[in-house]
Amino acid sequence: MLPGNMAQQGTLFDTAALLASEPRPAREHSLIEWSYSRRELFERCLMWYYFNYYGAKAGTAKNEPRKQELRFLKSLSNRHLRAGEIMHLVIRTYLKQLKDGQEWTLDRLLRWARDIYNADLRYSVSYQQGRGTTDPRSRSKLLSEFYFNLPNAKLLWEESAARLVKALTNFVARPELERFRRGAVHPQSLIEETLRLREDHFSLKGQIDYAYPEGERIIVIDWKLGASGGGEDSLQLLSYALVAMKHFACPSEALDLFKVHLEDGSVFPYTVRDEEIRRARARIIQDSQRMQAVDHYGRNGVASAFTPCRQSRVCNMCPFQQFCAKE
């Protein structure tokens, strides 16, 4: 059954619905695959969401006149994204090596992370100075801070590089994380695996950072580059819980969820109860409905149906800012 948009939920007082039958839409779209990153962007700014999921995609929004430029801008990264990406890559490699019986040293991890991030810097600086070209085959990333010529781009990169180093150091050196690191050796451990869950009302894609059985329990971990944040229920973790329950065929009570903030090494445990799972599922369905409600506008390239957020903090991070109709 399709989730449809919320308008399909019968209104309390729906007179004409009884009188008139509506023509069916020409094509019923398949379920939008919910992922935490997709819903996060949807919540952050609808215009950015349009550019990312429709305007800059080859197979959809065919009427979009700025397709080529948008595709290029989508390939940009920024310091937050890139540092997080490198952190996940290095941790993933460390844990996989550990599973295969090899333990990389902190020095080796840091050297590798620095190499990657320094290469990004060189690539971005040379592009900024007009010496470089964008090379789709390049493994280095062009960072938006340099592309948009932020006056303090280098400084921001340095701060971000320092955070990355600190996070990786904490990951390897913090004794309280030892328990988690050792979990990798379990034959059933999952290290950054993409899992999918398809139910009647929603389709979910989640890349679990890390999960493994520990006795009768299943440990699920979300690595965060930053320091500890708010006290809201973590939808990201709960979405991992949903896919983990399916993958490990376990009830919600068997899960121990942890958010690990590597910048300060703090570990936040989350107890999962059925009630939270029900809330997360309902939230995911509601998100899916919201995305579905504007999907046909996106597919048809109607960018004006997506309102820009007009929040300078968000706009400054947006790679598509030059194409944003702010007024």
Question: Among 106, 119, 250, 305, which residue sits at the site for other proteins (rule: CB under 8 A)?
Answer: 305
Of 110 and 305, which has the nearer Cβ to other proteins? 305
The residues in 209-268 that bind other proteins, with binding defined as CB under 8 A, are 229-235, 238
Question: Among 113, 168, 244, 294, which residue sits at the site for other proteins (rule: CB under 8 A)?
Answer: 294
Phi, psi at residue 152, to the nearest 5°? Answer: -105, 30
Residue 162 within binding range of other proteins, rule CB under 8 A? no
Question: Among 122, 182, 198, 278, which residue sits at the site for other proteins (rule: CB under 8 A)?
Answer: 278
Least distance in angstroms from the C-beta of 285 to other proteins: 7
Phi, psi at residue 222, to the nearest 5°? Answer: -120, 115
The residues in 26-85 that bind other proteins, with binding defined as CB under 8 A, are 42-43, 46
* Contact indicator for 69, 323 with CB cutoff of 8 Å: yes
Of 86 and 318, which has the nearer Cβ to other proteins? 318
Rounded CA separation 30/2 (Å): 8
Of 65 and 229, which has the nearer Cβ to other proteins? 229
DSSP class of residue 253 equals G
- Residue 209: name the closest of 196, 220, 198 by CA: 220
Of 8 and 105, which has the nearer Cβ to other proteins? 8
Phi, psi at residue 221, to the nearest 5°? Answer: -125, 140
Residue 106 within binding range of other proteins, rule CB under 8 A? no
Least distance in angstroms from the C-beta of 71 to other proteins: 24
* Contact indicator for 197, 242 with CB cutoff of 8 Å: yes
H or E element, residue 229:
none
* Contact indicator for 220, 211 with CB cutoff of 8 Å: yes
Rounded CA separation 264/228 (Å): 8
Q: Which residues bind other proteins (CB under 8 A)?
A: 4-20, 22, 42-43, 46, 201, 229-235, 238, 275, 278-283, 285-286, 289-290, 293-294, 297, 302, 304-307, 309-311, 313
